[in-house]
Amino acid sequence: MQARAVNPLVALVDVADLPTAHGPFRAHAFRARSGVEHLALVAPGQSDLPLVRMHSECLTGDALGSLRCDCGPQLQESLRRLATSPGGVLLYLRGQEGRGIGLANKMRAYALQDRGLDTVEANQALGLPEDGRDYAEAAAMLGALGARRIRLLTNNPDKVAALQGHGVEVAGVEPLVMPANPFNAGYLATKARKFGHRL
């Protein structure tokens, strides 16, 4: 998959090999017009219908192993599956911590969740959006990679609708369900009940 260098929303900065525990990828560094830097990892091989995972940055889950969410396990399972899928793409979308509210606000929301609110109620209590993420830059990255028709690895119907709204054809959806644990069972139930996640 050869990336195009220029896009109205994102610019390709450079490409380098990124060997991982799951297999080799080509890492495409993008800088968005907003100033946020994103990464696209592309598995070897070619596909007319690549498997794609849009993964929102989650420092607590991805790097620190938090059990309050399923983000870390989803990231690792995505990399495992994409590494064996020709031309598979992981979009690692930065600036989307806590469904777009930021790291410090996520900690504020966690404190309210510790007092009994769910994730949506906590964000509302803080005057923050339930989900403030935007996927225009993700769609632009896929366009730069030449991936206009994809299979999406997600449980979130909003991601499907968002990509299609930005001109990416989602020809198939594959689930990415992780087992619950005692710390994230309520979080997962809220995603299913209030966001329509297919869990």
pLDDT in tens, 59-108: 999 999 999 999 999 999 999 999 999 999 999 999 999 989 999 999 99
Q: Does the pLDDT of residue 18 top 80, yes or no?
A: yes
More confident residue, 179 or 64: 64
- Given the residues 53, 131, 158, 198, select the one marked as catalytic: 131
Residue type, 123: N
- Given the residues 62, 70, 133, 193, select the one marked as catalytic: 133
* Residue 180, pLDDT score: 84
**CB burial string 68-89: b at 16+ within 10 A, e below:** bbbbbbbbebbbebbbebebbb
To the query of whether residue 133 is one of the catalytic residues in this protein, the response is yes
Mean pLDDT of 145-152: 96
Using CB atoms within 10 A of its CB, is residue 138 exposed (0-12), middle (13-18) or buried (19+)? buried
Residue 185 in 3-state DSSP?
helix
Q: So where are the chain's domains?
A: 10-95+133-184
pLDDT digits (tens, 9 = 90+) for 23-36: 999 999 999 998 99
pLDDT band at 181 (very low <50, low <70, confident <90, very high): confident
The secondary element (H helix, E strand) that includes residue 187 is helix 185-195
To the query of whether residue 131 is one of the catalytic residues in this protein, the response is yes
Sign of CA pseudo-dihedral 7, 168, 147, 84: positive
Superfamily (CATH) of domain 10-95+133-184: GTP cyclohydrolase II (3.40.50.10990)
* Residue 183, pLDDT score: 84
Task: Please state the pTM of the whole predicted model.
Answer: 0.89
